[in-house]
Amino acid sequence: MSAVGWGAIAFWLAAWGANSFLANRYPKAGWVKALVPTLFGITLLVLWQGLVRGLNVSPVILPAPTDIATAIGANIPLLWGDFSQTILKGALAGYLIGCGAAIVVAVLVDRSPFLQRGLLPVGNFVAALPIVGIAPILVMWFGFDWQSKAAVVVVMVFFPVLVNMVAGLAATDALSRDLMATWSASYPQALVKLRLPAALPFLFNGLKIATTLALIGAIVAEFFGSPTRGMGFRISTAVGQLDLPLVWAEITVAALAGSGFYGLIAMIEKAATFWHPSQRGK
Amino acid sequence: MKKSILPILTVLAAIVVIWYAGAVWLNSQWTYDQAARAGVEVTFSEMVSDTLTQARPVLPAPHQVAKGLWDGIAGQKITSKRSLVYHAWITFSATMAGFGLGTIAGILLAVGIVHSRAMDMSVMPWAIASQTIPILAIAPMVIVVLASLGIKGMLPKAIIAAYLSFFPVLVGMVKGLRAPDAMQLDLLRTYNASDAQGFWKLRLPASMPYLFASLKVGIAAALVGTIVAELPAGATQGLGARLLSGSYYGQTIQIWAALFGAAILAALLVLVVGVVERITLKRKGMAQ
């Protein structure tokens, strides 16, 4: 192994020592809570770079981070086209339709405890199934373009959101409901003023799970047929050409999009459920 | 539990009715086209009976899927390439290998995180952030790259299954190992118990309910990972390969049968974990 590799390992040990020291010396400080994971992430990248260069790993197997960064820089229009095809059209449209439908269905079945008792176990069961397997069927029905990807996403996000929303609507305690009754609040009033706000923490839980599912659904569905753009299409064709830096560039975009999407929902959650104990402590 | 059987059956019956209606509606186009080409008029009842018996329907009717499933499970020799049991076994073995690897790695890392503050602060944020990455979407790529290295068969699929089941187990186990409250930890300290004794006698038993909850999530995730890992072209075995070949040749009944085979497998796996959970918690005196 060359000097680059040993240098990376030395950097790793030094960073680990620094992290241990910081974590034990200032366990409560805010800047340490941000610095320690950042240092760890940088260390992983340095170690990756050093080992790939030091051991002369072929770029066909694992490209170095700098190769990936170069590939991202060289292919920005291509990556943006794939991003808008897969994420903005397929995943986002499906996410909005699927989550909207799940919320509406949850509110509709809310008046019938009978339907709830039936729907909740079935929904829980379906949420555990390998739903992504319906992708070939939906690609057959809706064609190759983004509509079929959105349809896969709708089915994938529907059940987790539905189950969480139904549980959320049932989450008010008897005392609050009695209070609404003593004010002779009508059903819609109680729904809007008490039960929908009380369901929000549960709903956001489902919405956050659904963000990752939406991206997975949109990308995997492209493996079953797609127009000549899109992240799943690019990944499968670039693998065929052994253009691994481009594949990793797409993966980086997918990872950033996934984290950004999740972060966006988490931010909305923070603004919408500021009153909930889980948000107040921060 | 008894109270909810009737509602569940009602919902299931409603799904079947909607399914039949959908099958008639979606398949009728083909029936009318065929009739128009042959120059004959079809009555409504003829149309309905035809839509439910097509060889390559847009949406197969439930009884066709059930027949496909039955043929796949009981109508073939188990070793036959057309047997769903054979393909399910391939998928199942890769799932279990990956699930085992992922669970062991998750538990070990959780133990490390609970005992080392530096590890906790460095690894946990990344472990949580990695949940938001659509890792499953790149599973087929991992398979192709490993295949170009000469690694084929069960191992690449098991790696993806292990990766997917790893994080639920890690997060659940960290939570579980931290579940004992300060009073219980203090009690062990008054007994002058060592860290290792505290781990074996308090933390590990206390983490069991959390572990099993995340094992259920993890085994379902491992199965999904294995099926997606079987999708890339060239795979010929496993439920995922059945899905793909069905979609290439327009064999909709085969796709649906494989899909239901996967659903049954998922249900069985979660059920087995649930049974083990109940037995373990009962012996530990933690059963609800």
Beta carbons of A242 and B227 less than 8 Å apart: no
> What's the mean pLDDT in B151-178?
85
- Whichever domain contains A127, its CATH number is 1.10.3720.10
Residue B246: list chain A partners with CB under 8 A. Answer: 136
Residue A36: list chain B partners with CB under 8 A. Answer: 118, 121-122
- The amino acid sitting at B264 is I
Residue B132: list chain A partners with CB under 8 A. Answer: 211-212, 258-259, 261-263
Beta carbons of A118 and B4 less than 8 Å apart: yes
pTM of the model as a whole = 0.80
The fold of B84-283 is MetI-like fold (1.10.3720)
Do A124 and A222 belong together in one domain? yes
Are B244 and B235 spatial neighbours (Cβ–Cβ below 8 Å)?
yes
Helix, strand, or coil here: A225? Answer: coil
Beta carbons of B267 and A258 less than 8 Å apart: no
pLDDT at position A102? 92
Minimum distance, in Å, between the CA of residue A99 and any CA atom of chain B: 18
Which among B8, B58, B117 has CB closest to A121? Answer: B8
pLDDT at position B2? 62
Question: A-B interface: how many C-beta pairs under 8 angstroms?
Answer: 166
Residue A166: list chain B partners with CB under 8 A. Answer: none
- A235 domain residue, yes or no: yes
Do A122 and A235 belong together in one domain? yes
Q: Does A33 touch chain B (CB under 8 A)?
A: yes
Minimum distance, in Å, between the CA of residue B259 and any CA atom of chain A: 6
Distance of alpha carbon B216 from alpha carbon B136, whole angstroms? 18
Give kind and range of the element (H or E) at residue A99: helix A92-109
Q: Hey, what are B185's tokens?
A: 């930890």
pLDDT at position B287? 61
Residue A201 has pLDDT above 60, yes or no: yes
Best residue in B2, B114, B133, B143 for a mutation probing chain A (most A CBs within 10 Å)? B133
Who contacts B38 (Cβ-Cβ below 8 Å, separation ≥6)?
Answer: none
Do A26 and A163 belong together in one domain? no
Q: Any idea where the domains of chain B sit in the sequence? A: 2-59, 84-283
Residue B247: list chain A partners with CB under 8 A. Answer: 136-137, 139-140, 224
Beta carbons of B138 and A235 less than 8 Å apart: yes
* pLDDT tens-place string over residues B229-287: 887 655 678 888 888 787 777 788 888 888 888 888 888 888 899 899 889 888 887 76
Q: Does A41 touch chain B (CB under 8 A)?
A: yes
Residue A123 has pLDDT above 60, yes or no: yes
Beta carbons of A19 and B121 less than 8 Å apart: yes
What's the number of domains chain A is made of?
2
Residue B3: list chain A partners with CB under 8 A. Answer: 117
Residue B1 has pLDDT above 60, yes or no: no
Minimum distance, in Å, between the CA of residue A2 and any CA atom of chain B: 23
Do A235 and A101 belong together in one domain? yes
* pLDDT tens-place string over residues A210-230: 888 888 888 888 877 778 888
Residue A94 has pLDDT above 90, yes or no: yes
Helix, strand, or coil here: B241? Answer: helix
Beta carbons of A137 and B252 less than 8 Å apart: yes
Do A181 and A130 belong together in one domain? yes
Q: Which residue has the higher pLDDT, A105 or A276?
A: A105
Minimum distance, in Å, between the CA of residue B220 and any CA atom of chain A: 6
pLDDT at position B100? 94
Distance of alpha carbon B8 from alpha carbon A237, whole angstroms? 44
> Left (φ > 0), alpha (ψ -120 to 50) or beta: where does B250 sit?
left
pLDDT band at A101 (very low <50, low <70, confident <90, very high): very high
Closest residue on chain A to B127 (Cα): A37
pLDDT band at B122 (very low <50, low <70, confident <90, very high): confident
Among candidates A198, A157, A204, A205, which has minimal Cα distance to A180?
A198
- The per-residue b/e assignment along B34-54, b for 16 or more CB within 10 angstroms, e otherwise, is eeeeeeeebeeeebbebbbeb
For the packed helices A146-169 and A196-222, what is the interaxial angle rounded to 10 degrees?
A: 150
Beta carbons of B131 and A244 less than 8 Å apart: no
- A147 domain residue, yes or no: yes
Are B163 and B222 spatial neighbours (Cβ–Cβ below 8 Å)?
no
Task: Show the domain range for A38.
Answer: 3-57
Beta carbons of B134 and A212 less than 8 Å apart: yes
pLDDT at position A281? 57
Residue B259: list chain A partners with CB under 8 A. Answer: 130, 133-134, 137
Minimum distance, in Å, between the CA of residue A196 and any CA atom of chain B: 24
Q: Does A182 touch chain B (CB under 8 A)?
A: no
Minimum distance, in Å, between the CA of residue B245 and any CA atom of chain A: 10
Side-chain-side CA neighbours of A39 within 13 Å: the count stands at 23
ipTM of the complex: 0.73
Which among B10, B145, B255 has CB closest to A61? Answer: B145
Minimum distance, in Å, between the CA of residue A129 and any CA atom of chain B: 6
Q: Does A239 touch chain B (CB under 8 A)?
A: yes
Do A143 and A38 belong together in one domain? no
Do A51 and A177 belong together in one domain? no
Minimum distance, in Å, between the CA of residue B40 and any CA atom of chain A: 27
Are B45 and B233 spatial neighbours (Cβ–Cβ below 8 Å)?
no
Minimum distance, in Å, between the CA of residue B160 and any CA atom of chain A: 14
Residue A276 has pLDDT above 80, yes or no: no
Which whole-number Å values give the CA distances from A35 to A11, A12, A40, in the listed order? 16, 15, 9
Beta carbons of B134 and A119 less than 8 Å apart: no
* pLDDT tens-place string over residues B188-205: 889 998 888 888 888 888
Are B166 and B107 spatial neighbours (Cβ–Cβ below 8 Å)?
no
- A65 domain residue, yes or no: no
